Amino acid sequence: LPAYGDKRRRNVTPQEAPVPPPARSRPIRLLAAASALVALTAAIAGCAPQSEGEGDADDGHVVSVDAGRLRGSVRDGYRLFQGVPYAAPPTGARRWRPPEPPAAWDGVRDATLPGSPCPQPAMGGAAATGKEDCLFLNVWAPERRSGAERLPVMVWVHGGAYMWGSGDAYPAQRLATQGDIVVVTINYRLGALGYLAHPALAGGRDTGNYGLMDQQAALRWVKGNIGAFGGDPGKVTVAGESAGGASVCGLLNSPASKGLFRAAVMESGPCAGRGIGAAQEAATVFATSLGCFVEATAADCLRALPASALTGPPKRGGARTVSALPDTPASAVSGLAYGTSLLPGPVVGDPALKVPVLIGTNHDEVTYVLKGRLQPEEYASGLEALYGDRAKTVARAYPRSSHDDDAGLAYGHAVTDGDFACRTRHVGRAFAPHTKVYAYEFADPDPVSWSGVQQLFGSKEVGAAHATELPYLFDFPGVTFTEKQRKLSDRMIAYWSSFVSTLDPNGGNRAHWYPYRTSTDSFLSLRPTGSVTINNFGTDHHCGFWQPIVTGKP
């Protein structure tokens, strides 16, 4: 096998970095190497026309939705409605059950502050946070314009390894106003509360995937209510990054999503999931560790536990495994379970919803942030946890000797290529025969000085790492663009919003974005120096080597 060196990648030394994850089920295995990064990114962090009866004629920031009236805030060129309940609190008997519609309220509900995030463990120096009453969303809408048509809508699903994050951490004013679209950012149940697939919780129905059910409930709310904010319920695109991107794939694969959206965006989150049998087995072990080991009473036992018991530090039971994620009890049970009526499968194949898809990855997802953080023995054990009996083959293809004898750099290079770039390409190739696909690679070699990745590792020299594209789309605080980076941000917002509006990212005088074809293998490379079509993505990331590992076929 050829040894894939690192000549194309800069040598940098972040002060801190994660180490390889232990053996896990498919969804966590895919996203573990960078999930903490996107979680920290999320942690730091007026309306279009209304038809008669949708709002107060004399007060443009009060609107009426199914459950009652909402008062938002008027900003410079847009209106913002925060903490809007799209489902009833999933507490008590509603824990681990499909979401129910929110209760109606009297009077005008204040929507000027965010709602609580969902319960999530401590991470990156931040304390554990969140309440179970957390199924809220936020609406960013351009200011009212008399007589204007309703605007297309983008619904954003945040990342964070299914364990961290919230919708309000993604300020979307520029995306909404510059893109002339309505943006909705949502919360959904996380960790064990969102994905525990214990058989005792089934009650004759599917078990697990409660976070996915929440996302579908939010999309149903959007279909029924977005007109009050000037949005067009017939022009909804669902989008997400990292675990949010993998969630979007789950939504595409779920027959229950039919009619909820007409297009999808997947950023750095290729399709991922495990079988329901494996998910149930992991859930049973998890419940047993919490003292709920009798199946007949396990459901009541689990529902009686406080949320902190489900998200707090794990009970020690042997040696701690090397992991890129903080050591949390929910990590083993967080993520999508395939093989249910809600999510039949396969994970990658002919999607249930054949809608246009914009999909992509970052050039250096986890390459540089791992440099200097792994011992040689951790490189071997980490590859074994990720790739099983193929680990030695991967180690020969990505030897430390070709990466400055640095185990972290070699490991990061392998994970970037195998778990992000080539899996993204595999999804594009699988979807392209069924629908139009636009593929990109974010490739700013020195991204803006603010991002969760850079703050976590104390260095800005992380290349185009996981989550570094997010400040180019969202208005995170403290970001300072160079002139070329500002132009890249403007182009990206134009591409994304055009896709949301017309199902085609093209328009204006920006570089043409060609649909993905297996024969051309074309990706749009998003660079500060100008976006260009590339046809060497598969070669650059050695996807010929990864194909049997990614697809499970020779």
Query: Residue 231, class by beta-carbon neighbours within 10 Å (0-12 exposed, 13-18 middle, 19+ buried)?
Result: buried
List pLDDT tens digits, range 297-350.
Answer: 999 999 999 999 999 765 544 333 334 445 577 888 999 999 999 999 999 999
Q: Look-up: residue for tokens 């085609």?
A: 504
466 is catalytic: yes
| Integer Rg of the chain from CA | 22
* pLDDT (0 to 100) of residue 57: 36
426 is catalytic: no
* pLDDT (0 to 100) of residue 3: 55
359 three-class SS:
strand
What's the mean pLDDT when you consider all of the chain?
87
Six token digits for residue 428: 């594009």
Q: Where are the domains of the chain?
A: 1-554
List pLDDT tens digits, range 482-494.
Answer: 999 999 999 999 9
List pLDDT tens digits, range 532-548.
Answer: 999 999 999 999 999 99
User: How far, in Å, are 53, 194, 303, 473, 488 from residue 66 at the CA level?
Assistant: 12, 25, 30, 30, 39
Residue 136's DSSP bridge partners are 85
Q: Could you please report the per-residue DSSP string of 77-125? A: SEEEEEEEE-S----GGGTTS---PPPP-SSEEE-SSPPPPPPB--BTT
Q: What is the band of 461 on the pLDDT scale with cuts at 50, 70, 90?
A: confident
Check whether 460 has a pLDDT greater than 90: no
Task: Specify the amino acid at residue 402.
Answer: S
Phi and psi based region of residue 223 (left: phi greater than 0; alpha: psi -120 to 50; beta: remaining): alpha
Q: What is the band of 233 on the pLDDT scale with cuts at 50, 70, 90?
A: very high
Q: Of the ranges 28-32, 96-100, 157-161, 352-356, which one carries the lowest mean pLDDT score?
A: 28-32
* pLDDT (0 to 100) of residue 427: 97
**252, 351 contact by CB (below 8 A):** yes
Active-site residue identified among 242, 323, 498, 525: 242
Residue 24's DSSP bridge partners are none
**36, 327 contact by CB (below 8 A):** no
List pLDDT tens digits, range 259-302.
Answer: 999 999 999 999 999 999 999 999 999 999 999 999 899 999 99
Question: Highest mean pLDDT range out of 116-130, 300-314, 389-403?
Answer: 389-403
Alpha helices in 388-482 (DSSP H): 391-397, 407-415, 422-431, 452-457
Six token digits for residue 105: 């309220």
* pLDDT (0 to 100) of residue 336: 97
Active-site residue identified among 158, 466, 541, 542: 466
List pLDDT tens digits, range 137-194.
Answer: 999 999 976 667 999 999 999 999 999 999 999 999 999 999 999 999 999 999 999 9
List pLDDT tens digits, range 43-73.
Answer: 444 333 333 334 443 455 899 999 999 999 9
* pLDDT (0 to 100) of residue 39: 52
Check whether 24 has a pLDDT greater than 50: no
User: How far, in Å, are 108, 110, 291 from residue 156 at the CA level?
Assistant: 26, 22, 37
Nearest to 54 by CA among 46, 43, 62: 62
What CATH number belongs to 1-554? 3.40.50.1820
Mean pLDDT of 388-393: 94
* pLDDT (0 to 100) of residue 44: 41
* pLDDT (0 to 100) of residue 370: 83
Angle formed by the axes of helices 295-304 and 276-289, nearest 10° = 70
For 310-347, b where at least 16 C-beta lie within 10 A, e where not — what string?
Answer: bbbebeeeeeeebbbbbebbbbbbbbbbbbbebbebeb
Q: What is the band of 206 on the pLDDT scale with cuts at 50, 70, 90?
A: confident
Active-site residue identified among 365, 384, 441, 461: 365
363 is catalytic: no
